[in-house]
């Protein structure tokens, strides 16, 4: 018994000593950068030329259903950038697409473009030296959101033992803005599986390329997070401040069917012009949650994004379509679902099956609530990992083999086929109470109807159970 107590005490003292060795820098108080007047650029001229007089005050919206479009548009904006690139992401993978897009952003910085990158700490892992090296570029600034005080890829998780309430709250927002003219918002992170390039799993996902009025809201949101006391300059966190890690070289991502990515400025401008010609000028709003509150343990109230979505649901007249990678409702939400269904409103939801889900823990949480959601009026559909829809989505049959599951990562709600909500918000408890999220709300029957048709097709028997 004494030996067991000694071992336990020794382990406890070791962990206590380990915790005592690390701490975060004092809370950062940023001096908000003065918001300069937007400078004219080729991108701003593209938007001005595309906007008819009757479209003033509206936003251009182009919905991205395919991974190729998602990567190509980010690359086109990067190649065309003249002044600024601002982005925030939950995940930026160290894979072919992640490295290649990063290399083009560095090339933009080399020609004088000011780059601000805000990344959530949860997925930084072993890339801190690389990010620190990039941060030393005179035109690149990198901040890490809500970091652990333990910076090693393994020891980082020790922080959850003593600081769980804070570290359990993550920045799930995803935005990419160039020259104050175009933004990409929605559900995609940066990585091969979001761009139809993975040999392990590829996702049905969705985001939107926007221009016009709504871009200023995206910029305001980014600046709020950038200036938050939860955003730490990576130079304050890195232990290897003098490391000179080079950005790994990456080949140009290759797609089947002879598709190519925009690699030069002229080609990028032409590509963006073609997208603007296909875009819809309409009313759109962008919302994001406030950065984490000082009281990190206050998780009882739904966040602003959840309240906005709930209000849209309560005002629906006939139908609500849901596409959510992770789907878990609590008791209050189940009650609201029952109230909505009693009004005769049809609620249909597409989520992952166990075979298509990349996070089994999330599926177990969903499975525990499945009967209750059905009982309270929700019609549930689960995406097949071998859905034929994969081939149309990826346009590459090799990415849809039995060994490469097709999963759902999109986060979209359609209300009465009139309002579309595209963003980072999953209909689950993390998005409702814990993570910060961002959503684009588009008030347009054409756009909402087109997305609804896409979701309903995915719900068909050949694609879902």
Question: Which residues are known catalytic residues?
Answer: 172, 174, 179, 409, 411, 416
Question: HEC profile for the chain?
Answer: CHHHHHHHHHHHHHHHHHHHCCCCCCCCCCCCCCCCCCCCCHHHHHHHHHCCHHHCCCEEEEEECCHHHHHHHHHHHHHHCCCEEEEEECCECCCHHHHHHHHHHHHHHHCCCEEEEEEEHHHCHHHHHHHHHHHCCCCEEEEEECCCCCCCCCHHHHHHHHCHHHHCCCECCCEEEECCCEEEEECCCECHHHCCCCCCCEEECCEEEEEECHHHHHHHHHHHHHCCCCEEEHHHHCCCCCCCCCCCCCCCCCCCCCCCCCCCHHHHHHHHHHHHHHCEEEEEEEEECCCCCCCCCCCCCCCHHHHHHHHHHHCCCCEEEEEECCCCCCHHHHHHHHHHHHCCCEEEEEEECCCCCCCHHHHHHHHHHHHHHHHCCEEEEEECCCCCHHHHHHCCHHHHCCCCCEEECCEEEEECCCEEEEECCCCCHHHHHHCECEEEEEECHHHHHHHHHHHHHHHCCCCEC
What is the CA angle 433-427-333, rounded to 5? 70
What are the structure tokens assigned to 42, written together?
């080729």
> Cβ contacts of residue 162 below 8 Å, gap of 6+?
19
Spatial separation of the C-alpha atoms in residues 206 and 70, rounded to whole Å: 8
| Nearest residue to 358 (alpha-carbon basis) of 200, 148, 190 | 200
Separation CA 463–CA 441 (nearest Å): 27
Q: List the structure tokens of 438.
A: 């961002």
Q: Kindly report each contact of residues 9-12 with a partner whose C-beta sits within 8 Å and lies 24 or more positions away, as own/partner.
A: none
Whether the Cβ atoms of residue 61 and residue 282 lie closer than 8 Å to each other? yes
Tell how far CA 156 is from the center of its chain. Answer: 22
């Amino acid at each position: 018994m004494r030996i067991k107590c000694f071992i336990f005490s020794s382990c406890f003292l070791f962990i206590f000593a380990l915790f005592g060795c690390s701490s975060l820098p004092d809370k950062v108080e940023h001096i908000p950068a003065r918001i300069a007047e937007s400078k004219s650029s080729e991108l701003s001229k593209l938007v001005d030329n595309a906007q008819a007089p009757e479209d003033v005050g509206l936003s251009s919206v182009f919905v991205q259903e395919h991974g190729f479009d998602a990567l190509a548009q980010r690359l086109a904006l990067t190649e065309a950038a003249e002044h600024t690139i601002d982005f925030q992401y939950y995940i930026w993978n160290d894979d072919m697409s992640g490295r290649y897009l990063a290399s083009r952003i560095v090339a933009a910085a080399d020609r004088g473009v000011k780059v601000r990158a805000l990344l959530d700490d949860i997925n930084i892992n072993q890339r801190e030296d690389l990010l620190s090296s990039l941060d030393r570029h005179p035109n690149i600034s990198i901040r890490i959101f809500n970091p652990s005080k333990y910076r090693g890829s393994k020891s980082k998780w020790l922080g959850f033992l003593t600081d769980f309430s804070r570290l359990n709250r993550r920045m799930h927002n995803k935005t990419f803005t160039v020259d104050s003219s175009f933004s990409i918002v929605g559900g995609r992170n940066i990585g091969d599986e979001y761009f139809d390039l993975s040999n392990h799993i590829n996702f049905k996902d969705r985001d939107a390329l926007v221009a016009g009025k709504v871009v200023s809201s995206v910029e305001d949101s980014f600046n709020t997070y950038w200036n938050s006391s939860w955003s730490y300059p990576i130079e304050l966190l890195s232990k290897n401040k003098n490391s000179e890690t080079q950005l790994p070289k990456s080949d140009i991502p290759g797609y089947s069917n002879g598709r190519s990515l925009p690699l030069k400025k002229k080609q990028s401008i032409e590509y963006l012009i073609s997208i603007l010609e296909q875009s819809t000028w309409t009313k759109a709003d962008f919302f994001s949650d406030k950065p984490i509150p000082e009281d990190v343990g206050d998780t009882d109230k739904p966040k602003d994004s959840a309240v906005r979505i709930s209000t849209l649901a309560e005002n629906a007249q006939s139908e609500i379509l849901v596409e959510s990678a992770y789907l878990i409702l609590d008791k209050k939400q189940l009650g609201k679902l029952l109230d909505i269904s009693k009004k005769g409103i049809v609620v249909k939801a597409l989520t992952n099956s166990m075979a298509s889900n990349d996070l089994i823990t999330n599926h177990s949480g969903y499975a525990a609530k499945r009967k209750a959601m059905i009982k309270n009026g929700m019609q549930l559909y689960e995406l097949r990992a071998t859905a034929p829809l994969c081939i149309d989505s990826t346009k590459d049959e090799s990415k849809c083999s039995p060994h490469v599951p097709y999963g759902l990562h999109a986060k979209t709600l359609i209300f009465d086929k009139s309002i579309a909500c595209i963003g980072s918000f999953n209909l689950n408890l993390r998005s409702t109470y814990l993570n910060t999220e961002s959503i684009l709300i588009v008030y347009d029957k054409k756009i909402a109807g087109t997305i609804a048709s896409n979701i309903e097709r995915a719900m068909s028997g050949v694609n879902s159970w």
